Amino acid sequence: METLELTKEKKDKVTTENISGSEALLKILIAEGTAVIFGYPGGAIMPVYDALYDYHNKLNHILTRHEQGAIHAAQGFARTSGKVGVVFATSGPGATNLVTGLADAMIDSTPIVCITGQVYAHLLGTDAFQETDVINITTPVTKWNYQITDATEIPTVLAKAFYIAKSGRPGPVLIDITKNAQLQKFDFEGYLTCTHIRSYRPKPIVRIEYIEEAAKLINEAKKPFVIFGQGVILGKAEKEFKNFIEKGGLPAAWTILGLSALPTDHPLNVGMLGMHGNYGPNVLTNECDVLIAVGMRFDDRVTGRLDKYAKQAKIIHLDIDPSEIDKNVKTTVPVWGDCKETLPLLTKLIDKKNHTEWLEKFADYKQKEMNACIEKELNPVTGQITMGEVINILNELTNGDAVMVSDVGQHQMVTCRYAKFNQSKSNVTSGGLGTMGFALPAAIGAKYGAPHRTVIAIIGDGGFQMTLQELGTIMQENINIKIVILNNEFLGMVRQWQELFHDKRYSFTDMKGPDFVALAKAYNIDGQKVLERKKLKDALKEMLENKNSYLLEVRVGKEDNVFPMVPQGCSVAEIRLK
């Protein structure tokens, strides 16, 4: 075990208690400022839950209906609060049910600490009841994991777990604790937070020469273009980012996880990148002369064909994770470091400019897109209700101040394209993994992370049916979230691909669902179904004004598609408007 850097002054204040490993764990969580725990009990973690009986007034535990619900809730909490989400689960299936959430949190850089129970140490490797090798199972989907077999390790390992989860590029950590370690009493000498681990450098050293090179390229650019991701939000660098683009007069477009880092109505915000992004940002990626990427990872949904991506541009890449530099796109100037530190250094060196003609090109493309698809999506006058008009009315009713938690599919792309946000940490969705079933439990966590904000879950009928059991959590905890099911009775995104690229061979994407409103009422959640456009606004208003949770099912066009779209295997400049 690497040594933790502790000060003598802190050591002198330590008082010793002879307590169990389980109680020590709870004291540590309190010391870390843990506001809420999402979990599900079981045999191998029962000692922790027994200790929690005496600490329930100090630690708020939310009993979810499934361990996957617990970890998605912890993700939602982390995304809206900026703090570490905490999860409890038992061994065996309890631990393996966390794997999807761990993978989701890993690729989306969400700080989570999962505590799993494990069988007694002497039973490890014997195929004991509910024993699984959770360490090897979760190694690919965690930033770090560790198995504790002796209670004396708990303080040091937990300190390290929280430090790793939230430092540098955040991510999920899993600590597996054997049952004997939970029960074992030891002399607990208080809790000391971790501030340093030998060989672990969460932030790379900022190299001023690269800052200077980047500034020179930006100052010489005629068509500079900024693309930004969640790194701006994770680095708490929203103000620094805004100052940077405003001084340089730089048009800026976002990935779906970068959404809300910059207000959507900011004059330099030119829209969304990627497969279903806006027309201008995609086409003009292949016209800009300097491309400045901030806290994003050039994933395939943003770049399309790499061999045709921004080949004319010089690339500046700002990222806290050196492994992302040159991983997908060759960088001209790498700017390693936390963007909260690197952006102000860069801003000092760039010239104050207004790239008026360049910005007008984005506006021209926006108008083409408006005429081709946006207007009929947001303001249709005939046909069935569209997903876009639901989001458009929500923008009007919430003034862009709500937290929007979207699931995965067509409704996700529509929500990210059209939702308006005035403040950061407002868009919660599954980005890199694309986990259907994410939104309902994530919305629960999002509400605990931002209790004074309106939280709206936008979910497709398919994704909702994957985790609808979490309605029980909402009922038991009396959580006030708004649930909008955009129901097209299809697995919509798969169906769209089948229509466009597989000759409308709708293979197993037609989906029948239950009476969602009646289902919600079984959980004491009010709701209604909307079939007609003339009733939509009033129904949305009634939902938002209700003091409790509310479910609104909206029947939308069965075979509506989301455009623009970059077909798979195409360049971003080959984006289709219809």
**Catalytic machinery residues:** 67, 129-130, 179, 493
Directed axis angle between helix 238-248 and helix 339-349, to 10°? 20
- Only one residue has tokens 């982390």, namely 78
Amino acid in the structure at residue 253: A
What value does the CA radius of gyration of the chain take, rounded to a whole number of Å? 24
Selection from 389, 552, 546, 421 nearest residue 483 by Cα: 552
Cα separation, 428 vs 309, whole angstroms: 28
- Which residues does 96 contact at the CB level (< 8 Å), separation at least 6? 132, 134, 137
- Check if the beta carbon of residue 125 is closer than 8 Å to that of residue 192: no
The beta strand positions in 99-158, using DSSP E, are 112-118, 144-148
- Check if the beta carbon of residue 27 is closer than 8 Å to that of residue 189: no
Q: Which two tokens stand for residue 124?
A: 């490890």
- Check if the beta carbon of residue 416 is closer than 8 Å to that of residue 406: yes
Cα separation, 71 vs 58, whole angstroms: 21
State the CB neighbour count (10 A cutoff) for residue 2. 12
DSSP type of residue 4 = B
- Which residues does 567 contact at the CB level (< 8 Å), separation at least 6? 500, 501, 574, 576
Burial of 133: CB neighbours in 10 Å, binned 0-12, 13-18, 19+: middle
- Which residues does 307 contact at the CB level (< 8 Å), separation at least 6? none
With residue 272 as reference, give the H or E element that holds it.
strand 269-272
Q: Is the dihedral of CA 438, 439, 440, 444 positive or negative?
A: positive
Selection from 369, 352, 128 nearest residue 243 by Cα: 352
CA distances in angstroms from 535 to 156, 164, 531, 542, listed in the order given:
58, 50, 8, 11
Residues in a beta bridge with 179: none
- Check if the beta carbon of residue 131 is closer than 8 Å to that of residue 119: yes
Given its phi and psi angles, is residue 334 left (phi above 0), alpha (psi -120 to 50 degrees) or beta?
A: beta
- Only one residue has tokens 């794997």, namely 99
